[in-house]
Amino acid sequence: MSSTKTLVNRNRRFANDFGAADLPIVPKLRTVVLTCGDSRVDPAHILGLELGDAVVIRNNGGRVTPEFVEEIAALAFIVTKMDRGEPAPFELVIIQHTHCGAERFANQNVQRAIKEQIGVDVSSVAITDHDQSLKDDVERLRNALEVPGHIIVSGFVYDVENGRLREVISPAALRQGSNAHLNNNPKPTTPSLTCESLANE
Ligand SMILES: [Zn+2]
């Protein structure tokens, strides 16, 4: 049986007992988890996430990329609108992991081969030191003013050999000071975008 058929069959079994039709769009834990796409690092398992608990965004390495910045800025914008403009509490948990494929991107020969053969630059997501990568990623977020400063950000390394998280960056607001609660996005908002239209999506 193909993998796709296996997954569709598993979904049928899941849907037979489905009882989550009334979950709200804003996650119960008001949390975004950013982690690697590695199959050993599934947040539903390692964090015990239930349906409706958290937004999960995964990419190579669990890195803060320009695409991730856009995604979390847009999510924060929508949640703030749904909370009627209040800077509601929201947390971001970044989880990178040991023995990650992104460590191979640090090899100069691998970087060059990927760039030359498929035109993809992986240098910004390469991992050589997990603690430093997490610190760099929080700094990337801090410098991205479209991401509101009041988001609580933390960083962990997950050990694929013992299942434990190691805290590298303690939970703290992304930015302190007078602009911490502001979304400094200079782009004008669309006048027709109301709390009601977002809530009805
Ligand atoms: Zn990985």
Task: Specify the pLDDT at position 87.
Answer: 72
Residue 5 domain-assigned? no
pLDDT for residue 125: 85
CATH number of the domain encompassing residue 183: 3.40.1050.10
For residue 161, the model assigns a pLDDT of: 98
Helices then strands, counting H and E runs in the chain, come out as 6, 5
Bridge partners, residue 55, by sequence: 32
* Owning domain of residue 140: 23-199
What is the whole-number distance in angstroms between the Cα of residue 62 and the centre of ligand 1? 7
Q: Name the pairing type of β-strands 31-36 and 55-59.
A: parallel
The CA 58 to ligand 1 mean position distance, Å, reads: 10
Axis-axis angle for helices 66-82, 130-142 (nearest 10): 50
Q: How far is the CA of 147 from the centre of ligand 1 (A)?
A: 24
Q: What spacing in Å lies between the alpha carbon of 146 and ligand 1's midpoint?
A: 27
Residue 3 located in a structural domain? no
pTM: 0.86
| DSSP letter, residue 53 | S
User: In this structure, is residue 106 part of a structural domain?
Assistant: yes
Residue 52 CA to ligand 1 center (angstroms) comes to: 24
Please count the structural domains in the chain: 1
- pLDDT attached to residue 180: 56
CA of 61 to the centre of ligand 1 (A): 4
Tell me how far the alpha carbon of residue 160 lies from the centroid of ligand 1, in angstroms. 10
In a domain, 1, yes or no: no
Give the pLDDT of the chain (201 residues) as one tens digit per residue.
799 999 999 999 999 999 999 999 889 999 999 999 999 999 999 999 999 999 999 999 999 999 999 999 999 888 888 877 777 789 999 999 999 988 888 888 888 999 999 999 888 888 889 999 999 999 999 999 999 999 999 999 999 999 999 999 999 999 987 455 544 444 444 444 444 454 444
Q: 141: how many CB neighbours lie within 10 A of its CB?
A: 21
Question: Would 8 be classed as within a structural domain?
Answer: no
Domain contains 16: no
| Distance of alpha carbon 35 from the chain centroid | 6
Buried-exposed string 45-83: b where 16+ CB fall within 10 A, e elsewhere: ebbebeeebbbbbbbbbbbbbeebbebbbebbbbbbbbe
CA of 66 to the centre of ligand 1 (A): 18
Structure confidence at residue 135 (pLDDT): 97
Whether residue 156 lies inside any domain: the answer is yes
Say how many Å lie between the CA of residue 143 and the centre of ligand 1.
24
Residue 11's pLDDT is: 97
How far does residue 77's CA lie from ligand 1's centre (Å)?
A: 28
Q: Is residue 11 part of a domain?
A: no
Output the CA 60–ligand 1 centroid distance in Å: 6
